[in-house]
Every structure is written in C-alpha cells, then in structure tokens.
Amino acid sequence: MNIATTRVPSKTSTSLPNILTYTRIAAIPVVVGCIYAQSIMDYPLWLRWVAVAVFIAAAITDYLDGYYARIWNQQSAFGRMLDPIADKLLVASCLLMLAADNSIHGWTLWAAIVILCREILVSGLREYLAALRVSVPVTKVAKWKTTMQLIAIGFLLAGEAGDQVVPVVTMIGIVLLWASAIFTIYTGYDYFRAGIHHLIEEDSR
C-alpha cells in the first residue's frame, strides 16, 4: 500500500501557519514582562537577553507562517486577518515598553509615534476598504520596513546589556528606528494613495 506523503491542505484556525501566528502573540507578554522586570523592578540585565531571544523567535515566525501557508496551500481568511494584527501588537507593545524604560526618549519618541500612527492609519484604511471588498496588498517596501522595524526593536531590547558587549548597540537601534520611521511615512502614503480613489468613488455615488 502506498502512503501519501503530501500534506493535506488545512485552512482551519489550528493549521501550522496560524499556530505560528498565535505564538507571536503569546511572545508579547514574555518580552514586555522581561523588560519591565529588568528596567522598572531592577532585576538582572540577563532578562534583556531573554527578551531579545523570545523577540527574535517571534520575528522569525512572521516569516515562517507566510512561507508554510504558501508551500502547503494553507492560506486562509483567518490567517490573513490575524497575521498583520499579530505584527502590530508585537511592534506596538515593544515600542511602548521601550518608551516606558527610557530606551526611547527625547526626539526618538517621534519616530515611535510616526510608526504607531501609520499602523493605525493603514489598519483603518484596510478595514474601510474591506467593507468595499477592495484588498490592499502588502508591498515589498512595506515588508522591508517591517524587517527594519523588527531589527531596530531587537537592538533596543538588548539596550544596556548589549552596550556592555558592543557600546553602540542602543545607538544602532535608534538609527534603525529613525530609518524605519522614514520608510513608514513613505509606505503609509503609498497605501493611502492606493486606496484614496476607492474612497472618492464611494463618496461620489
């Protein structure tokens, strides 16, 4: 008897790509908790390395869930909805925690504000266009922006612990955060421009 080795497509909420997305959400309280304990409660610096390790693992799932969904034909409406939400929750939670522990302060707060405002803008635009049955695909520039954001946050999470190994770790994180903020402005405008004609058409009816 021949045993089939091809994976049967599964588009349920318990498919592997969706489980990977769940783990990205589950990583948020771990990362935030480690930074809070180290910075606010003055626990040992090694907790920042735990936060970085968990954050990196969560960031990797952002690539893997889409990869497996494509090669195993497990793309689903639920996954397309949850994946960007998980990304935004991870980024927003880390930025807020980094602001709370003073890793992001002064003028650098504006970079974080730009990133968070863009995410709200695009989410609102996507929600409205979804009601019109208009999809807004993710561009390559937006993917690069997300990658740069994640790398910047990783450096900033290492923070003081990273600076003890390489003194410029925090500075690299700040520079990358500003660079990702610039990309964020561009991609936010790009998304808005792509969707604005649908909004104008809807108002003219």
For 113-165, write each residue's pLDDT tens digit.
999 998 888 877 777 776 666 666 667 787 888 889 999 999 999 999 999 99
CB burial readout 38-55, b (16+ within 10 A) else e: bbeeeeeeebbbbbbebb
**Stated pTM of the model:** 0.85
Distances (CA, A) of 28 to 23, 51, 71, 144: 9, 9, 27, 22
> pLDDT (tens digit, 9 = 90+) per residue, 29-63?
999 999 999 998 989 999 999 999 999 999 998 88
